[in-house]
Amino acid sequence: MKGEFKKYSLIFKRPAGTSRGTLLQKDTYFIRIFDENKSGYGEAALFKGLSAEDVPGYEEKLDWALDNLDLPREELFEQLKDFSSIIFGLEQAFLSFQAEDTFLLYPSEFTEGKKSIPINGLVWMGPKDFMFEQIKQKIEEGYGVIKLKIGAIDFQDELDLLKYIRSQFSPGEIEIRVDANGAFSPREALEKLKRLSDFQIHSIEQPIKAGQWEEMVRLCEQTPLPVALDEELIGISFDADKEAVLAQIRPQYIILKPALHGGFIGSDSWIQAAEKLGIGWWITSALESNTGLNAIAQYTANKKVKIPQGLGTGSLFTNNFDSPLYINKGALHFNPVKKMEFSLFKD
C-alpha cells in the first residue's frame, strides 16, 4: 500500500471572527492511500494556531506516516500520538479503502437518510448588527439551538444580543450556547458567567485560556452555568492523563473535535473517561472540508446522540466539495442518492 497527500486552502465566504482573530482561509491536507486496485481518502485537518501539532515538520511527519502504512495500526498510531489530525486523516483513509462505497465509512440509519443529527446554529463574532442578523437568520432557518462566539466585542453588546433572543424566545423554544474560546481572564470570568446566567444559557465553552487548571477547577466549582472544555483537551493523548484531567477539573461537559482530540480513537477514549465521571459531551467539527465533516457526521450518528452537536460548518467555504450532507430545520441530514464530489487526486 502506498500513500500521498495534497495541501488545500479552504476559503471562507466571509471573514469568520473569533476571540483569537479573524479567519479568511483554512489550510488542510488530503490523504490518498492506494494499491493497484483501489484508493481510500481522508482529511488530515490541521488547525494552525490551535492544534498542538502545529509545529515545524508537520508535512515531514505526514510523509513518514504515508511511508509506513504497513506498520501494525496500533504501532503506527502510537508513533503519531502527538499528531492528532494525521491519525484522524488516516482513520478515514483506512475506512474509505476498506469500504464498498468510498465515502460511506460508518453505515447507519443516518447514511440511509432515515435519521438526522440535531445541530446548533453557529453565530460568528463581528459587529453587533452583523451578529444580530446572523441570530435572526438562524432562528428563521429553524434552529432550536444557537451558539454564539463571544469575547471579541464589547461584553455589554453581547449581553444585549442575548437579551434580544430571550425577549423573543423562552429557553424551551431556543437553547443558547456560548463559546468564549478562552477570552475571559480568570479574575473576571466568574462575574461574567454570573451575568450570562441571567439569560438561562445552556453552557459556556472554554471561558478562560487552556492550561490554567487551578483557575478552571475553581470556576467549574463555582460557576452558575455549565462549563464545557474544548481547547483544554488538546494535546492530551494518554488515556490515564485524560481521566486525571477530567477528575481534577470536573467540567459539566467536554466538546470533542476528532481532528484535534486524537481522531475517532482518541474521541472514543475521551467519551469513556467522561462518562465514567458523569460528564456530558458532544461532538463538533473543526472547520474541515465536507470530506472530513462527512466522516465526523457518520461517526457521530453511530453514537446515537440525542443532544444537538456542532456539525454545521460545511457551508462556510467558497471552494468546498459537494457532499451528501445538507441542513434542514436545525438538523444535519444525509442524502443517500447523492455522491461525494472529490477529485483532487488522479487515480
Instruction: Name 23's bridge partners.
Output: 16
* 3-state secondary structure (DSSP) of residue 142: coil
Active site residue 257: yes
* 3-state secondary structure (DSSP) of residue 253: strand
Q: For residues 138 and 121, is the Cβ–Cβ distance under 8 A?
A: yes
Whole-angstrom distance, CA of residue 336 vs CA of residue 114: 10
- Catalytic member of 138, 209, 242, 257: 257
Q: Is 129 exposed, middle or buried (0-12, 13-18, 19+ CB in 10 A)?
A: exposed
* 3-state secondary structure (DSSP) of residue 114: coil
- Catalytic member of 26, 149, 192, 242: 149
Active site residue 138: no
| Residue corresponding to grid cell 475506512 | 95
* 3-state secondary structure (DSSP) of residue 327: strand
Q: Which helix (H) or strand (E) holds 269?
A: helix 263-276
Which residues are marked as active site?
149, 257
